[in-house]
Chains A and B, each alone.
Chain A
């Protein structure tokens, strides 16, 4: 059963449409990630749910109640902000307690609740500090504690890990899902980091220019991106996109890279002869001794956990190949690389949309 429902939300600022009719629902206790580049409308959407921004049209329903015109203090939500938004003139304790002081609650109960959540987030030793005296990580945890302490039914997290360093971001990325699951809240999480999106989201909604362009599980989005842009947004190093015109024969649909045949998995009726783009994930490519297509190694750029190699095909097209760091890049500039048919993603060049292989034969393009 869905707990948070958005229906046809529209918002424009001075002739500029920021949200263009967005409908979403999140089941009770579920987590939805809103992903998109800056300016895609994620933050405005989150603020609309919070009640800080009034939509021009559409409705917000929380727990079956229409909340569209209810002021933020009566929506029963918790929110953590990207810039933390701590109250600079209050101690960490008072910051966290501010979520409780508006209720009829005894001072001792407030104290106990703040203490509990502070211990959970490991900031109980800095409760007397003002935000100025806190490290970035502690600020971020204080902001999170403030959102969690009143045990809200809906939790809105606006890119909460954006302003903390890489190490902390990694730690929190691992800890957060557990923490959120324990609380049982319905969560909407905004981020621009695809790793965070994949790690946290049971479902990810990809926003672009005020529209939802794809919504699905991390696996859907990574393996079956709706268009080339989404394919590029997910994955580091980014997906290789090469222009091809696929051909069909008795062995199925295929294209040529470096004069060598690359097969596509599944039936694509009507695609042969069309201008297409093939997407090859760098980690799906591998160096091989026999078969594959010939390439020239241009540069080897090791990452920590993987080695990324820039190669060019016979026609000078650039391809990135990513391998686990343990495996070695073969010696010498002339090499062959290969990809399995399942891992090649086919897009229409004109629209940029992914072409869905079919078995029944009617449907060619997937509705995004």
Chain B
């Protein structure tokens, strides 16, 4: 049995009025013990409403929510066994950072030495040891956020809810703290749900990511699968930095090859054998499809389809090359420097195993890498 179970949960604000907002629609979600799950989406996608319903700050309009098989719909927040770190830090202003972090432990009547030990440990982890005895208003926003995160993580709770836990964090610390926090959560066998709009954060921390848009769960899967097997155009385009290249294409078939015509001037030709027979049938019945190619799979090579470079940007550890291709632009990412300037012709090579094919009408994925989705 899962630790957290959401079944057909809806949230409607101002029901029945002209301003009714269906913020969360028919959400099914289950989180296993020891798992880190990210709710990912742009603002207004319903992720924060979902978190607040789990925490008990909002009532679900309908549907069941259960923690450890016990229904929590009507339980007050304090009785749900959840710990929460808020986006707006929400530290108690009159208490020092140390007292803030220790607050919940003291309430549990833990001996003072043990409390101190745990606070020191989490403070070292979050790099806040130096200002444990300061008041919240004497430290920066990023430091407050780390303290707030510490106050939540130190608690023994069935479920930790983290609302945009790293949004204010100093960029130089992010990568390191992500690693440490992930290690901490795994080591202590905590279960965590984090809400974020930053896919880098979700990817780095989460075992599974729930991608939401317009109150609807688009896909709930591992970062790996979100990247390699996006369920629809939305997830495909949303996940990935730089975003996936998308082209409308016309599909055609002869005895040996499949042709995908992108725009007016590009025809991708692939041997039939690289696609599964079911897929060939589906693609053919569709005729017009949307083709997606990740920038990392766009190779610049000696041979291939000609494209004209308009930007070549080296960012230290990777190079982004953008070129005019099929009446649009195509972006290629390489991990070394690429020498080609604006205006130059390059050849774009695309392998059939890197193709994502979507239905243009529904947006649903038809195939990934030559295999039916």
Q: Do A and B share a direct contact in the complex (Cβ within 8 angstroms)?
A: yes
Residues of A in contact with B (beta carbons under 8 Å apart): 165-167, 170, 173-175, 177-178, 181, 194-195, 198-200, 218-219, 222, 232-238, 281-283, 298-299, 301-306, 308-310, 318, 320, 322, 324-326
**Distance of A322 Cα from B199 Cα, bound (Å):** 17
Closest Cβ–Cβ distance, residue B270 to chain A (whole Å): 21
Contacts of B329 in A (CB 8 A): 174
Judge whether B175 and A301 touch: CB under 8 Å. Answer: yes
Selected from B171, B240, B310, the residue in CB contact (under 8 A) with A236 is: B171
Contacts of B227 in A (CB 8 A): 304, 325
Closest Cβ–Cβ distance, residue A44 to chain B (whole Å): 21
Known A195-B315, A298-B183, A322-B317; judge A304-B239 contact (CB<8 A).
yes
**Distance of A295 Cα from B208 Cα, bound (Å):** 27
Q: Is B134 on the interface with A (CB-CB < 8 A)?
A: no
Closest chain A residue to B224 by CB distance?
A302
B256-275 CB mask vs A (1 if < 8 Å, else 0) is 00000000000000000000
Selected from A165, A232, A310, A324, the residue in CB contact (under 8 A) with B172 is: A232
Closest Cβ–Cβ distance, residue A181 to chain B (whole Å): 7
Selected from A173, A219, A309, A326, the residue in CB contact (under 8 A) with B313 is: A173
Closest Cβ–Cβ distance, residue A120 to chain B (whole Å): 14
Judge whether A305 and B318 touch: CB under 8 Å. Answer: yes
Judge whether A199 and B316 touch: CB under 8 Å. Answer: no
A-contacting residues, B18-64, CB 8 Å: 42
Selected from B171, B296, B313, the residue in CB contact (under 8 A) with A198 is: B313
Q: Is B314 on the interface with A (CB-CB < 8 A)?
A: yes
Judge whether A301 and B314 touch: CB under 8 Å. Answer: no
7 contacts between A and B (CB under 8 A): A174-B331, A199-B313, A299-B179, A301-B178, A302-B204, A320-B175, A324-B335
Contacts of A195 in B (CB 8 A): 315
The 5 closest A-B pairs by CB, nearest first: A310-B179, A237-B175, A301-B204, A199-B313, A283-B317
Closest Cβ–Cβ distance, residue A38 to chain B (whole Å): 11
Q: Is B88 on the interface with A (CB-CB < 8 A)?
A: no
Contacts of B175 in A (CB 8 A): 236-238, 282, 301, 308, 320
Closest chain A residue to B295 by CB distance?
A305
**Distance of A178 Cα from B344 Cα, bound (Å):** 13
Contacts of A232 in B (CB 8 A): 172
Closest Cβ–Cβ distance, residue A318 to chain B (whole Å): 7
Q: Beyond the given A177-B313, A301-B204, could you list 5 further A-B residue pairs with CB under 8 A, ordered by the A residue number?
A: A167-B237, A218-B316, A232-B172, A236-B174, A310-B182
Q: Is B322 on the interface with A (CB-CB < 8 A)?
A: yes
Judge whether A303 and B204 touch: CB under 8 Å. Answer: yes
**Distance of A200 Cα from B313 Cα, bound (Å):** 8
Known A178-B342, A301-B178, A301-B205; judge A233-B172 contact (CB<8 A).
yes
Closest chain A residue to B205 by CB distance?
A301
Contacts of B318 in A (CB 8 A): 305-306
Closest chain A residue to B309 by CB distance?
A178
Q: Is B70 on the interface with A (CB-CB < 8 A)?
A: no
**Distance of A177 Cα from B343 Cα, bound (Å):** 13
Contacts of A181 in B (CB 8 A): 342
Selected from A218, A238, A299, the residue in CB contact (under 8 A) with B186 is: A299
**Distance of A302 Cα from B224 Cα, bound (Å):** 9
Closest Cβ–Cβ distance, residue A6 to chain B (whole Å): 27
Residue among A198, A304, A322 with the most chain B CB within 10 A?
A304
Judge whether A199 and B320 touch: CB under 8 Å. Answer: yes
Q: Is B287 on the interface with A (CB-CB < 8 A)?
A: no
Selected from B172, B203, B315, B322, the residue in CB contact (under 8 A) with A302 is: B203
